[in-house]
Every structure is written in structure tokens, then in C-alpha cells.
Amino acid sequence: MLDLAAASATIPATDTPVAAGAAPVTVAYGDGIGPEIMAASLRIMMAAGARLAIEEVRLGEALYREGHSAGIPPEAWDSLRRTRTFFKGPITTPQGGGVKSLNVTIRKTLGLFANVRPCAAYAPAIATRHPGMDVVIVRENEEDLYAGIEHRQTDEVYQCLKIISRPGCERIVRYAFDYARANGRKKVSCFTKDNIMKLTDGLFRRVFDEIGAEYPDIEQENMIVDIGAARLADSPERFDVIVMPNLYGDILSDIAAQITGSVGLGASANIGEYGAMFEAIHGSAPDLAGQDVANPSGLLLAGVQMLVHLGQGDVAERIHNGWAATIEAGIHTADIFRPGLSREKVGTRAFADAVIARLGEKPQHLPAADLKAARPIALVRPQRAEPAEKRLVGVDIFVQSMLSPDELAQRLLTATNGLVELAMITNRGVKVWPQGMPETFCTDHWRCRFQPKPGKQFNKAMQLDLLGRLNMAGIDWIKTEQLYLFDGEPGYSMGQGQ
Ligand code: NAD
């Protein structure tokens, strides 16, 4: 078993003398293998000359147990507000109710809108089917289905809101292009499902095209996420930087990391206006904890991203190249050790020693990093556009009912008594009235679209009147969505098949 006290004795403590010009950084060792890989990573970083003033905070499983619902105590927030830079070991998320995701809480609280995951293969040193792969996934981190706004609406139907905002799209898309430019990347691809979600994903794609026009030096392409994902898994060499909304980015960045050959090497940066967080993509691997066998590379490469962010590109380059030289020399932890390919199987501490011994070297076959001049990406705050001219032209009223489409339509027509027109009823987005198909399976959740009679205006007073009449008729309406035109353009989907 690893002697954790010995492991942490080698790390710079908070009261270690700090180099002049050192960057303040909050460090959490985390759970499971966290303390071992953090100790190894910090030891390499300090040996390479990193100028860090470390504030250590407690985080994770023990804090959850102490009753902090997101696993983070108030003093850690104080430190993060001071340092604005977080180097985080993996944590164990307890199973069960009442527990909030620590990562989601930190991302949302600090507004870390960009998740940047470089996914590169290190062939021939590490076995992979995609030796030429060198992709960076830039994932939007705050919006989409991760807003966490969910409702059960009827006995049968549950809903999760997908929220996409123009400023959110602008920030992430601009970040992706600026990242590409700053890192000598040639192409940015955008994955969406805008053929189905024309308003939400359609906005993301439109913003990609608009902002892309400001970067004529960078090749650009749009792909539907399903075909994009298939190509990424099959021939990742054809991609360079890929920008995506949150959910697609979450899934595809894991796939991309996996096909590089080892998830243990994956690092990620979470960047925002008020702070940044750097971590390995893997979890706390409790099965390996305390055995001095875990691979510290993912966390170390996150440290490399952090040093670039802190303007210490020279140190970042020295570490990356020393690390690549170690990997290339076949000095491998158990997770990437392959007989015939690897030369020596080492533990976490010995791996760190091997990297430290190679600081100042460059890899012979793997590409050497050139990070001396690398700088953090300057973030551009999106400009607010002039508000559009907004006109109310109707309302979708969602109703719970076990009636058939024709029976429900009849009740709605009787209740509203000619106040407005019932334009259509859909069930799970499929039009079932008028002229529905008898084969359509219907749930207890109906969208009923009301619009004014020809030549008449619609307003919120009419909507309230309408809801009152439905109430009086005992119709169980469960939510409404106003139908607006924005500068004459419909701000709502037109219904299936239109
Ligand atoms: P995991 O990533 O911890 O482990 C998956 C597999 O990969 C295991 O076999 C593990 O031994 C191996 N592995 C992971 N990191 C390794 C490393 N550095 N070196 C060698 N092998 C490594 O995923 P899991 O088992 O699903 O999750 C364990 C815990 O981690 C859970 O509580 C989960 O919630 C948490 N988790 C935390 C984070 C985070 O803090 N960012 C991310 C993912 C999972």
C-alpha cells in the first residue's frame, strides 16, 4: 500500500516558500487515487519550475458526508474567489439522493462555459487504432439539457428543457475559433442536430456560421451530430477542433478520449470569465487507491493546460516534452503497459521520477510541444443585440387528458365557444387533430394550439380568458407556451411535417 503521508510529504504545502510572481492556485487532492496522482503531478510541475502559490482545500466524499450537499465547503469557495484557478483531483460522488454533482455546481457557480478536451493519440508509444488522431473538443458547458429544468407534467409524461441562448452560443463558438487560431489549428467543425431542432440547434449552427465569417483563415464545416459522431469514431484524423452544445460534447468527448488509446491520459480545462478549473477526465478509481499504480498523466496534462492558462507556457512545454519523452521511452504505468511495446512497468511515484529525470528533453518520435509563446485565450463578452419586435400571435396550451383526439377537440371547441381558433392538437409532437392517423400512439399529454380568428389580434388578456374557460369546463391544462413572432419570424416550431 502507498504511504500517503510519504506521498504528500513530497508535495509543496501551503506554507512552502513561494517563488516571486507565483500564480495563486487552489488545489484539491480529491478522493481515491486523487492524493497520489496530485502529489505526483505537483512534484513534476514544481521540479519543472512552475511558479505556483498553492492554497489547499478539502473537497469531495468526506465533505458530502459532513453534510455539504455538493461536496464543497464555504472556505473552498473563498479560496476559489481569491485564486480563480482550480487544480482538482478526481472525487468520489456518493450514490443516493440529496447529492449534487460537485463538477456541475462548480461549473455553474463560476460560469465555466467552455470545456476544452484535447484528445491526441501517442502512437507508436501507446497502442491505438487511430495513430494520427489529434482532436480538441470544445464543449459548451452550461446550457442545453444540463440547465436541470425538469418537470413531470402528467401521469405519463416527463419533460427536460433544452435551453440554448444566443450569448451562450456566441461565447463558446468564438472561444473555439480563438483557440484554433492561438494553437495553430486549421479547421473548426460544428456538430448539431439542426435538421430536427431547428430553433435551438439551429441557433447554435447559425451563430457558428456568423462568427466563422470573422475567421476566414480557418477552415469550417457543419455536420449533423450523428454522422459527425460516426466519422469521429471511424476516422478521427480528419478532425481538428470540434465545437458542440453540451450534451453532444459530453458524450463525444468521452468517445474521443477513449479511442486515443487510454482514458487515463485525458485532461480537461473548464474556462470562464471568473475562473478556470483543470482536471483529469477520469474518476477517482477507488479500485486502485493507495496502491501506487495509478497513471498521473491525465492530471499532469491538465496541469500543462493550467500553466498555459497562467502564462507559464515555458514550464508547460518543458513538462509536456519531458512527459512525452518518458512515454516514448516505454516507461509506462500498468494501465498503458503493453508487453512488446512498453519497456518498464512503473508505479505512480516512479513514473513521476522518470518524467522529472527527462525534464529538458524532447521526444524523438512523438511531436514535441511548442508552448513557449502560448497564452490564455482572451475571452470576449458577447454584445447584446437590439431587442426584436415581438408580437403575440397565439398560444400552445398543454393539457392532460385520456380522451381521444376527436373527443378532446370537441370539448375544447365547446369550452372556448368561438373565442379563438383551435389550430391543431399534437401528441408527442405528432399532429393528431385535425386529420390525425388512427395508428398514432397517444399519451395523456396533448399540445393544443390556439390562434386568433382571421383578421383578429391575440393578446394575454384573451389567453387568460381562454384558460379561464378551460378551467370552467374542467379541462386539466398543465402549462402554456406563448407563440411569438420576432421581427416577423415565428419563434416556435410549426408542428410535425411542416
Ligand atoms: P473511473 O474513471 O474512476 O475508473 C474507470 C476505470 O478506469 C477503472 O477501472 C479505473 O481503475 C481506471 N482508471 C481511472 N483512472 C485511472 C488512472 N489514472 N490510472 C489507471 N487507471 C485508471 O470511473 P468510475 O469507476 O466510473 O468512477 C469512480 C468514481 O469517480 C465515482 O464516484 C464517480 O462518480 C467519480 N468520478 C469523478 C470524476 C471527477 O471528479 N471529475 C469524473 C468521473 C467519475
Q: Pick left, alpha or beta for residue 98 (phi over 0 → left; psi -120 to 50 → alpha; otherwise beta).
A: left
Q: How far is the CA of 307 from the centre of ligand 1 (A)?
A: 24
Please report whether residue 495 resides in a domain.
no
Spatial distance between the Cα atoms of 9 and 3, rounded to a whole number of angstroms? 10
> Per DSSP, what are the bridge partners of residue 177?
none
Q: The cell 483557440 sits on which residue?
A: 179
Helix (H/G/I), strand (E/B), else coil: 461: helix
Hey, what's the cell of 146? 444540463
279 pocket-lining for ligand 1 (C-beta < 6 Å): yes
Pocket test for ligand 1, best of 260, 282, 351 (most atoms within 8 A of CB): 282
Q: How far is the CA of 281 from the centre of ligand 1 (A)?
A: 8
Q: Give pLDDT, residue 58.
A: 93
Q: Give pLDDT, residue 194.
A: 96
Judgement on whether residues 75 and 34 belong to the same structural domain of the protein:
yes
Please report whether residue 32 resides in a domain.
yes
Q: Return the closest-CA partner of residue 245 out of 196, 191, 166.
A: 191
Judgement on whether residues 227 and 265 belong to the same structural domain of the protein:
no
What pLDDT tens digit does each residue of the chain (498 aa) get? Answer: 333 333 333 334 344 455 668 999 999 999 999 999 999 999 999 999 999 999 999 999 899 988 888 889 999 999 999 999 999 999 998 887 678 888 888 988 899 999 999 999 999 888 888 999 999 999 999 999 988 899 999 999 999 999 999 999 999 999 999 999 999 999 999 999 999 999 999 999 999 999 999 999 999 999 999 999 999 999 999 999 999 999 999 999 999 999 998 788 999 999 999 999 999 999 999 999 999 999 999 999 999 999 999 999 999 999 999 999 999 999 999 999 999 889 999 999 999 999 999 999 999 999 999 998 888 899 988 988 899 999 999 999 999 999 999 999 999 999 998 889 999 999 999 999 999 998 999 999 999 999 999 999 999 999 999 999 999 999 999 999 999 999 999 999 986 543
Judgement on whether residues 151 and 248 belong to the same structural domain of the protein:
yes
| Protein residue closest via CA to atom 10 of ligand 1 | 285
270 pocket-lining for ligand 1 (C-beta < 6 Å): no
Please report whether residue 496 resides in a domain.
no
Please report whether residue 121 resides in a domain.
no
Side-chain-facing half-sphere of 19: CA atoms under 13 Å: 11
Q: Give pLDDT, residue 104.
A: 84
Judgement on whether residues 23 and 110 belong to the same structural domain of the protein:
yes
Cβ neighbours around 98 below 10 Å, total? 8
Task: Please tell me what DSSP assigns to residue 334.
Answer: G
**Residue 279 and residue 269 in contact, taking contact as beta carbons nearer than 8 Å:** no
| Protein residue closest via CA to atom 12 of ligand 1 | 285
Q: Give pLDDT, residue 372.
A: 86
Judgement on whether residues 44 and 70 belong to the same structural domain of the protein:
yes
Judgement on whether residues 401 and 456 belong to the same structural domain of the protein:
yes
Backbone torsions φ then ψ of 481, nearest 5 degrees: -135, 120
| Protein residue closest via CA to atom 7 of ligand 1 | 285
Q: Give pLDDT, residue 19.
A: 64
Q: The cell 389580434 sits on which residue?
A: 457
| CATH code assigned at 48 | 3.40.718.10
Spatial distance between the Cα atoms of 107 and 272, rounded to a whole number of angstroms? 8
C-alpha angle 150-195-422 in degrees, rounded to nearest 5: 65
Please report whether residue 122 resides in a domain.
no
Helix (H/G/I), strand (E/B), else coil: 56: strand
**Residue 187 and residue 240 in contact, taking contact as beta carbons nearer than 8 Å:** yes
Spatial distance between the Cα atoms of 393 and 488, rounded to a whole number of angstroms? 10
**Residue 114 and residue 182 in contact, taking contact as beta carbons nearer than 8 Å:** no
Judgement on whether residues 246 and 146 belong to the same structural domain of the protein:
yes
Please report whether residue 123 resides in a domain.
no
| Protein residue closest via CA to atom 32 of ligand 1 | 92
End-of-domain residue from the set 252, 287, 315? 252
Instruction: Determine which helix (DSSP H) or strand (DSSP E) holds 486, and give its type and residue range.
Output: strand 476-486
| Protein residue closest via CA to atom 25 of ligand 1 | 285
Judgement on whether residues 402 and 464 belong to the same structural domain of the protein:
yes
Q: Model-level pTM?
A: 0.91
| Protein residue closest via CA to atom 24 of ligand 1 | 283
Q: Give pLDDT, residue 95.
A: 80
Spatial distance between the Cα atoms of 50 and 304, rounded to a whole number of angstroms? 10
Provide the terminal-to-terminal Cα distance of the chain, rounded to the nearest Å.
64
300 pocket-lining for ligand 1 (C-beta < 6 Å): no
**How far from 230 is each of 105, 132, 354, CA to CA, in Å?**
31, 17, 38
- The count of structural domains within the chain is 3
Hey, what's the cell of 115? 470545456
Spatial distance between the Cα atoms of 122 and 329, rounded to a whole number of angstroms? 12
| Protein residue closest via CA to atom 16 of ligand 1 | 264
Q: How far is the CA of 325 from the centre of ligand 1 (A)?
A: 26
Judgement on whether residues 248 and 152 belong to the same structural domain of the protein:
yes
Task: Please tell me what DSSP assigns to residue 339.
Answer: B
Judgement on whether residues 367 and 395 belong to the same structural domain of the protein:
no
Side-chain-facing half-sphere of 12: CA atoms under 13 Å: 23
End-of-domain residue from the set 345, 372, 399? 372
SS (H, E, C) 189-257: EEEECCCCCCCHHHHHHHHHHHHHCCCCCCEEEEEEHHHHHHHHHHCHHHCCEEEECHHHHHHHHHHHH
**Residue 112 and residue 141 in contact, taking contact as beta carbons nearer than 8 Å:** yes
Amino acid at residue number 224: I
Query: Which domain does 133 fall in, by range?
Result: 129-252
Residues in the chain: 498
End-of-domain residue from the set 206, 222, 252? 252
| CATH code assigned at 465 | 3.30.70.1570
Torsion of CA 278, 316, 132, 183, to 10 degrees: 90
Helix (H/G/I), strand (E/B), else coil: 8: helix
Torsion of CA 257, 260, 261, 266, to 10 degrees: -40
Q: Give pLDDT, residue 2.
A: 34
297 pocket-lining for ligand 1 (C-beta < 6 Å): no
266 pocket-lining for ligand 1 (C-beta < 6 Å): no
Judgement on whether residues 109 and 6 belong to the same structural domain of the protein:
yes
Q: Give pLDDT, residue 306.
A: 97
Pocket test for ligand 1, best of 88, 284, 288, 292 (most atoms within 8 A of CB): 284
Judgement on whether residues 269 and 368 belong to the same structural domain of the protein:
yes
Please report whether residue 111 resides in a domain.
yes
Spatial distance between the Cα atoms of 166 and 455, rounded to a whole number of angstroms? 33
Buried b (16+ CB within 10 A) or exposed e, 5-15: eebbeebbeee
| Protein residue closest via CA to atom 38 of ligand 1 | 283
Instruction: Determine which helix (DSSP H) or strand (DSSP E) holds 397, and give its type and residue range.
Output: strand 390-400
Atom of ligand 1 lying closest to residue 297 CA: 18
Side-chain-facing half-sphere of 161: CA atoms under 13 Å: 11
